[in-house]
Amino acid sequence: MNRTKLKEAENTFFMQYPGGFANPEMLEIAKKHKVEKMNRMAWESFAIDQFENPGKISDSMARVISQSSMVSPF
């Protein structure tokens, strides 16, 4: 994991959406998606202890991506 790039992405996000996910524009977008369900799934799937099993992480990535409303299967 490249923490530098992650921090850069975070800073870009906060510059575009002050207040983060509490930003009114983000709240409007969130109404169209299963945000809480996907958040819970991601937190459980990618908890630190899950990284002991690379196969499980790969399966989790595929599951999260396939269930995301932001990714088109086409």
Full domain range(s) for residue 1: 1-32
Q: Up-side HSE of residue 12: CA atoms within 13 Å toward CB?
A: 6
Q: How far is it between the farthest Cα atoms of the chain?
A: 38
Instruction: Please give the single-letter amino acid code of residue 13.
Output: F
- Our count of domains for the chain comes to 2
Do residue 55 and residue 28 come from a single domain?
A: no
pLDDT of residue 55: 92
| Shared domain check, 48 and 63 | yes
**Statement to judge: residues 21 and 8 lie in one domain:** yes
Specify whether 42 is located in the same domain as 74. Answer: yes
Give every residue of the chain whose pLDDT is below 70, as ranges: 72-74
pLDDT of residue 31: 87
Q: Are residue 23 and residue 54 in the same domain, yes or no? A: no
> Do 26 and 40 reside in the same domain of the chain?
no
